[in-house]
Copies of this chain bind each other. A is one copy, B any other.
Amino acid sequence: MLAETSARDLGFPNAYDRRQMSDGPYIAESASLIGDPARANMLAALMDGRALSATELGLAARVAPSTASGHLSKLVDGRLLSVISSGRHRYFKLASPAVARVLEELMVLAGDGPPRYRPKSRCSEEMARARTCYDHFAGKLGVAIADSLASRELVVLGDDGGLVTDAGMAFLLELGVSIEERKASRRPLCRPCLDWSERRWHIGGGLGAALTLRCFEAGWTERKRDSRAVTVTHAGKRAFEQLFGMRL
């Protein structure tokens, strides 16, 4: 059945040629931007959702400032980054949550396949314990929060995506997490996000972002300098034990 295809169309345009006009080149454009190691390092450094300057991103990628500038121009042109100018600085951030999703999925892919060579522990101990994933918690902390909320049926994660129950809404309201305006947004409220260190789901989407924002505002968590890693403060430990019944 396959011989027929090749015999019929030998050297002539066929159905597969038409597909060339399809998606391939478009995804290649974005993918090749991510595909350069220097640019990938920059993007990875921006995965926490913050905006960084060109110099900082150059250091992250270990390239000269001029090289970094060139890469950043391409990433902005390719709509993977957006830029805001402030004085003599220019701050770059991921253009959209969709970009973060692609990167996160790529990390899952990179983490796949067991026997592959992988130098030392790719992720540091503290990164595995608690970090931000674009704009929500990941690592053991993120998974623990997700487990806690799920076990009390404040959210339902099941095997399949996530939902916030009515009780969950009440809980969040009481916690001071503003979730109402997020429901209007097109962004999924409670997207499950596969954790590359824990290999389990944690809570992303608008809910994950709001909850995480609240934890920083309340002083329960703090960002480690120049890293996606997160530390839980003393107040945070108390709060998390009371709210989520977890010990850290």
Partner of A108, one of B25, B98, B108, B161: B98
B27 touches A103 (CB 8 A): yes
Q: How far is the CA of A202 from the CA of B122 in the complex (A)?
A: 35
Q: Would you call B15 and A41 a contact (CB within 8 A)? A: no
Assembly stoichiometry (copies)? 2
Q: Is the pair B56, A5 in contact by a Cβ cutoff of 8 Å?
A: yes
Q: Which residues of B contact A14 (CB under 8 A)?
A: 59, 226
Q: A232 interface residue, CB < 8 Å from B?
A: no
Out of B17, B40, B161, B227, name the residue touching A27 (CB < 8 Å): B40
* Bound CA–CA A24/B113 (angstroms): 18
The contact of A16 among B25, B60, B80, by CB within 8 Å, is: B60
The answer, among B6, B15, B62, for a CB contact under 8 Å with A20, is: B62
Tell whether A191 pairs with B59 under 8 Å between CB atoms, given A44-B27, A45-B19.
no
- How many residues does chain A have at the interface if contact means C-beta atoms less than 8 Å apart? 88
- Interface contact B45-A37, CB-CB below 8 Å: no
Q: A45-B19, A110-B26, A122-B22 are in contact. Are A56 and B163 (CB under 8 A)?
A: no
Determine the chain B residues whose CB is within 8 A of the CB of A123 once the complex forms. Answer: 22
A207 within 8 A of B: yes
Contact of A40 among B25, B98, B207 (CB under 8 A): B25
